[in-house]
Structure 1
Amino acid sequence: MKMSGAEAIIESLKNENVDVVFGYPGGAVLTLYDALYTAEFRHILTKHEQGAVHAADGYARATGKVGVVIATSGPGATNLVTGIATAYMDSIPLVAITGQVAVPLIGRDSFQEADIRGITTPVTKHNYLVKKVEDLPGVLKEAFYIARTGRPGPVVVDVAKDVFAASLDYHYASEVKLRGYHPIFEGNLETINQVFEELRSARKPLIFIGGGVNLSGSSEALRQLVDQTGFPVISTLMGLGSLPYDHPQFFGMVGMHGTYAANMATTECDLLLGIGVRFDDRVTGLLSDFASKAKVVHFDIDPAEINKNVLAHLRVIGDLKWSLPALVQRVKDVSSELKQQVRAWTENVLSWQRENPLTYERDAELVMPQTVIEKVSELTQGDAVIVTDVGQHQMWVAQYYGFKHPLSFLTSGGLGTMGYGLPAALGAQCGLPDSTVILFAGDGGIMMNCQELATAANYNFPVKILILNNQTLGMVAQWQRMFYGGRYSHTSLKGNTDFVKLAEAMGVAGLRVTKPEELDKVLKEALATPGPVVVDIRTPETVDVLPMVPSGARLDQMIMGG
């Protein structure tokens, strides 16, 4: 078929079964947007390019599909960088199509020119600069293949302006073969046998799950492994939801703000099965003392993660969709034996949980942030898609919301991007229109992309936006309180911002909670109200996220809450 470069992009997106793209037009992509005018899939116009890329990220996390974002050249493309880096750190499949100045103008500091390929090289799985129209179909086919296969990640396709208007004979390949790129799906079965032997000899084993379990769709295989072995389970922030919070063998999140039971189990275990984890510093605490009594078995699809932070005694390279079922098959005949040999250990971990549960100080006169999260968990029964921004509220959600389902918790883990939450929630709602999507945000982070409230109103996305408003940059202030002598340098957010009026100005319903007795009624009203709703919830200023492992300390050196 004869068509323009812009039409070839639209056709390629159709061939990849794309049903929605997020973006913002500009001069370099005008020809592409003209072709989008008659496209069969949706385009969501956000109010800022950063909002568009976070929305595409939220859509990808919620649906498991590749998110797609479009931006123009120069500042349009550079406004995507934070969102691309966010997706890269959390292994989220994303294709960003950016405009570039025309081929003859590249490298001349032309109007709205930026080397987006060079800028994004450290934070993409791969990227392209397309200067020949005949290259477009092949590049897009490769981009989607790279984004979704192996360890997922973002891919940038930068297209010169004149390529959009040039014509080509369109052909879209049915498969991709890339020299040097061979994503590992199945590994060496002998390693599964070696893991099996380690399981049979361990007396204090611990299953440690990460975001890879969610991303690979391996939650059911994980549940089978847990049920057959009887081993206790802990999770990273990104792994939450892979196993229901109320599973009797689940002991919560590990790390800086992990549970006492999870941190002590990691300290005392003799075998640690790290499944789809990357041993981030927020998890390990003092690296030299992390799981120092244990043999570490690392399951991962990316060989680059093995031994990067924690030395693995045994590595299992391959997709978890292969390795976990293979291990389940191997252990099923000795299930009773495994459960018997770890019974005393499991009871020990249970005793840590009973003696030091998650707890916080309550005040009858104040709306405690943890209470808000517990109440939302009760009202939704764990069946909502929960999105957070970054900060104290993010950790409280991880601690106090009862996640029951995979892909039900969307948050910026690796990069810790304030401003992520609101647009990501809109993307999730776009991808899952029949789901209840709830955003927890702080009064700091919500302002970083608050313009997307207008997007929520324009498309009537029924996201419920709960702002835990303590009038301070909560997590930074907590560190100042605990480690900097209470010197609150530029963390106060006390001012004249009225979030209810801000929401209403952008066409979103606004509610407020200032007293504990108002909480239940207002939350129920928000959940029952059609369309988007902002709830400004006034919480106390000096509540800390606890437990907390100070930076540089061991996991067993927790500051506990009361």
Structure 2
Amino acid sequence: MSATIRLTVGQAIVKFLGQQYSERDGVRRKFFAGCFGIFGHGNVAGLGQALLQAELDEPDALPYHQGRNEQAMVHIAVGYSRQKDRLETFAVTASVGPGAANMLTGAALATVNRIPVLLLPADIFATRIASPVLQELEQPYGYDVSVNDAFRPLSKFFDRVWRPEQLPAALLGAMRVLTDPVESGAVTVALPEDVQAEAHDWPVELFAERVWRIPRPVPEPEVIERAAEIIRGAERPMIVAGGGVTYAEANEELRAFVDATGIPIGETQAGKGSLPYDHPLNTGAIGATGTTAANEIAGSADVIIGIGTRYSDFTTASKTVWQHPGVRFININVAGLDAVKQAGLPVIADAKRALPALQEALAGYRTATDYQHLATRLAGEWDARVVASHHNGYGASNGVLAQSEVLGAVEAAMDPRDVVVCAAGSLPGDLHGMWRTRERKGYHVEYGFSCMGYEIPGGIGVSLAAPDRDVFVTVGDGSYLMMPTELVTAVQEGIKIIVVLLQNHGYASIGALSESHGGQRFGTKYRFRSAESGRLDGGVLPVDLAANAESLGVTVYRAKTLAELTAALAKAKAATTAVMVHVDTDLYEQSPSGDGWWDVPVAEVSTIESTRQARTMYEKHKAAQRPYVAPTQ
């Protein structure tokens, strides 16, 4: 009979998580960097007690970190894991009821972005002896339902541990999914609050070091030959580099492939930085927020080689960016779900394994010199537009800086290895098209869920994962107001992030979208309600977000002119703690556009003339949409 150790369920979870490791390419890493938690009656005496005991007895096993908002804690874990190429993450615990429910948005973000994070929400009593307990959701059709059931569609794995005996299977199942590059996402193990405190005799083997090998699937030779045959028949092939390139650490393999074949690339949001921005065949961002260079090359491309992309509507410009009548797709991806999109030839494999195999199969193939020169020229023309927008003198002429001027100053203040972080509003579009990424992992924009409020906690996660790189968090006032709370966490933990807050008194992105779609920027500006009109079109609100940040313990530098901004960024760069640079920007000035389209339906009938005109334009763009279902055979 094997030896056992008597621990509570909470203590067993902490001890187990502290012994989990990931391994890829012979490099072993501790899988959980720690646990973020906010405690309430549902977990304070269970997991809370277990984390305290571990901190006293085994301080390096699963270090505890305090958060201020449950959603934000999940964002921190996501930012950390993404910067670590999904090979490490955090666990996150919250109390039953509203604490657990607050994590739902974070769970959705993690799963949409395919990022592993372990969620440990407290749950209702398994015994039900005290039901209904405080914060319990009662349903007449079943007494086993709690708010945690809402995690089921948002998680890649979900289990509820009603009895201690169920815990080993739940934990092993959770680890299986967390370390699977195909199934990565939120993993939820719901823990009834009475069960967390219940003791059980566990086999000691459960707590031995356990190494989970992250696989690198290799491509089938026959599929590689078929892909090479399709590419050899192409005159204007193009690569779409997605996040899978970087997660697979295949950046050098991509560079070698591009150099050998002369095939130009466009980059998705997650794929930004797959190659340095100034590589002669990198045409930059593709799609709705793309560059004129990438979108022009895409418009006539006859074969698309998608590498680690899920082909979101922004990448495909809502399926209008590729207009060649016979365009075909080859999709290199570890996930079959993505590999078959656009009716493409699925090459189900890790990019680091597939690209060298495909390069070998294409030995002697190279695109025409004129085609390569075209890609290089178009990329250069776009870059010139970007540089001009950074120095367009808008602020000097109008008394308030343009967003493009601010981004130019931020980019100039950064070292090549520093990281820019963003998530929502007009900034992600501008960053995608204009940011000149120089080194791997230097660009971190959460655009799968585009979650307002992600920026600051996500930046904290990036900084925890890469403490040797300065992290510049770019955020608009609208997104800042959603979740500034983790500035306190950064101050508490001594985590340096540089928050660049662009204050334009409204929603710039949705405002511009509303205007272009006939909505006249309705509900997108921060204004008093006018006594005369009864509408929100009065004066600008006297909101001082710089003072708000200062009240949370952050040093703030205010800037209004480009010279003041440059000086403030230099001070922020030299700082050793969390700082903010607050700068006023224009709500209306638009950055250079790559002319991509995004399918946002316009009212089919309206009494408003601007809406009717927008509907006419919408139908014109809609006519260019294509299903992309042609076979590759």
TM-score by length of 2: 0.81
**Residue of 321, 335, 349 corresponding to 2:375:** 349
Q: For 1:103-122, what aligned pairs fall within 5 Å after superposition? A: 103-105=126-128, 110-113=133-136, 115-122=146-153
- Cα deviation for residue 377 of structure 1 reads 1.8
- Cα deviation for residue 108 of structure 1 reads 5.7
SS of residue matched to 1:207: strand
Q: For 1:72-91, what aligned pairs fall within 5 Å after superposition? A: 72-91=95-114
| Aligned position for 2:39 | 25
Residue 140 to residue 199, structure 1, CA distance change in 2 (3 Å): same
Residue 500 to residue 378, structure 1, CA distance change in 2 (3 Å): same
Judge conservation of contact 1:463–1:531 (CA < 8 Å) in 2.
yes
**Residue of 573, 583, 588 corresponding to 1:527:** 573
1:135-180 Cα deviation digits (max 9, x unpaired): 2233223212211213221111111112222223143277799xxx
1:63-86 Cα deviation digits (max 9, x unpaired): 231232111111111100111111
1:55 counterpart = 2:89 = no
| Aligned position for 1:514 | 560
**Residue of 5, 11, 15 corresponding to 1:7:** 11
Residue 525 to residue 192, structure 1, CA distance change in 2 (3 Å): same
| Aligned position for 2:173 | 142
* More off after superposition, 131-140 vs 438-447: 131-140
- Cα deviation for residue 118 of structure 1 reads 2.5
Q: For 1:34-433, what aligned pairs fall within 5 Å after superposition? A: 34-39=49-54, 40=59, 41-64=62-85, 65-105=88-128, 110-113=133-136, 115-151=146-182, 152-166=184-198, 167-170=200-203, 171-172=205-206, 185-287=217-319, 290-293=322-325, 294-308=327-341, 310-312=342-344, 314-331=345-362, 334=363, 337-339=364-366, 341-355=367-381, 357=383, 358-359=385-386, 360=389, 362-363=393-394, 364-365=396-397, 366-433=400-467
Partner amino acid, structure 2, of 1:10: V
Partner amino acid, structure 2, of 1:338: Y
Partner amino acid, structure 1, of 2:51: L
1:271-298 Cα deviation digits (max 9, x unpaired): 1101111111112124267354421101
**Residue of 432, 457, 462 corresponding to 2:491:** 457
- Cα deviation for residue 471 of structure 1 reads 1.2
Partner amino acid, structure 1, of 2:34: V
Judge conservation of contact 1:263–1:555 (CA < 8 Å) in 2.
no
Judge conservation of contact 2:320–2:597 (CA < 8 Å) in 1.
no
1:316-359 Cα deviation digits (max 9, x unpaired): 0122233223223434xx2xx433x3322122223433455544
Cα distance in 1, alignment partners of residues 194 and 352 from structure 2: 43
SS of residue matched to 1:468: strand
Cα distance in 1, alignment partners of residues 50 and 519 from structure 2: 59
SS of residue matched to 1:20: strand
1:188-208 Cα deviation digits (max 9, x unpaired): 221111112222222211111
Partner amino acid, structure 2, of 1:129: R
Residue 442 to residue 302, structure 1, CA distance change in 2 (3 Å): same
Q: For 1:545-560, what aligned pairs fall within 5 Å after superposition? A: 545-547=591-593, 548-552=595-599, 553=621
Residue 174 to residue 195, structure 1, CA distance change in 2 (3 Å): farther
Q: Which structure 1 segments of 5+ residues have no match? A: 558-562
| Aligned position for 2:607 | none
Cα distance in 1, alignment partners of residues 148 and 102 from structure 2: 14
**Residue of 523, 544, 547 corresponding to 1:501:** 547
Partner amino acid, structure 1, of 2:15: E
1:355-406 Cα deviation digits (max 9, x unpaired): 5554445412432221222222222233112111311112222233221233
SS of residue matched to 2:43: helix
Cα distance in 1, alignment partners of residues 194 and 519 from structure 2: 58
Cα distance in 2, alignment partners of residues 344 and 389 from structure 1: 37
SS of residue matched to 2:283: strand
Judge conservation of contact 1:46–1:452 (CA < 8 Å) in 2.
yes
Cα distance in 2, alignment partners of residues 514 and 413 from structure 1: 29
* More off after superposition, 32-41 vs 270-279: 32-41
- Cα deviation for residue 429 of structure 1 reads 1.4
SS of residue matched to 1:274: strand
Residue 540 to residue 432, structure 1, CA distance change in 2 (3 Å): same
Aligned-residue CA RMSD in angstroms? 2.5
Cα distance in 1, alignment partners of residues 129 and 578 from structure 2: 43
Residue 269 to residue 457, structure 1, CA distance change in 2 (3 Å): same
- Cα deviation for residue 422 of structure 1 reads 0.6
Judge conservation of contact 2:100–2:148 (CA < 8 Å) in 1.
no
Q: Which has the larger radius of gyration?
A: 2
Count of matched residue pairs: 546
Cα distance in 2, alignment partners of residues 24 and 555 from structure 1: 51
TM-score by length of 1: 0.91
| Aligned position for 1:560 | none
Q: Which structure 2 segments of 5+ residues have no match? A: 21-29, 138-145, 528-539, 600-620, 626-633
1:447 counterpart = 2:511 = no
1:47-101 Cα deviation digits (max 9, x unpaired): 1111111111111111231232111111111100111111111111111111112
